[in-house]
Structure 1
Amino acid sequence: MASNKPQEAKLSDSKEVQLKAYEKQVKDNISSMIENFTEIIKQAKIADGTQVKQTTEGEQVHYEVSVRAANVVRAGESLMKLVSDLKQFLILNDFSSISASTVTSRVKYKNSAEENDKKLLALRDEIASELFLLEDEFFNSAVK
């Protein structure tokens, strides 16, 4: 039993490290989304200047907004993948829930088995009683 505790502690530490990595990813992705969205909003300004300058600046702004929008989408997709990873992590590492479910199922099936055994014993006793009556009737009948 003592040998299991260090391994459980290592497993728990490993889980904590992975959860902290997930937390860092979430913070990084959210800050990336905020930063890129802020920069997109900053580009929505009215510029004064000549037609050529406006056209050139418009193309530059369009390109920058496109890149920043792609960065926002990438961060969003990364967050969605992270949610999927967290779900998988929870499913695979929720040993207490799995253990509780197993214990509950085992108790349920044990109770069901006991109930079925009682029914089978009652059925056996009833069949034995009926068989005894049939044998008694057969051996005591006039036809032999």
Structure 2
Amino acid sequence: MGRIYQMVKSFKKRYPNTIAWRIKKHAAVLDGYIDDDEKLLYAFCGQNNNDWYDVTSSCAVALTSKRLLIGQKRVVWGSFYTQVTPDMYNDMHVYSGLFWGKIYIDTIKETVVISNLDKKSLDEIETAVSKLMLKEKRKYRR
């Protein structure tokens, strides 16, 4: 089993109220996109949508030393893959609702929303993403 799956599985055990299914398949999508010179820093799972009631869009999210990756395996065939590089990153919003929370990652072109996250996990996710993006974005300003 890959390192991404192990990290996502660990996240799911620490935050069991996060809604996500088929995390092994979603993590396998990301395994193929990590380059040899990248180091895996953090991984989690959630729903790749903006609606609390849509629980069929599970995905795995990996944070590497260079970028943020989002992978989603379709049920029958194919997959979805999205990456956010630090030069495209604008800001992040954290929403905490009654039961679950959401992370909005704003980029130059679009906004990526990871929803149905355990409320207790929001601070950990925000810290991990912000640290990497701000550190790496400084390199682009030179």
Q: State the TM-score bracket (shorter-chain normalisation).
A: under 0.3
Task: Decide which structure has greater strand share.
Answer: 2
Which structure has the larger Rg? 1
TM normalised by structure 1 equals 0.23
Q: Which has the higher contact order (CA 8 A, sep 6+)?
A: 1
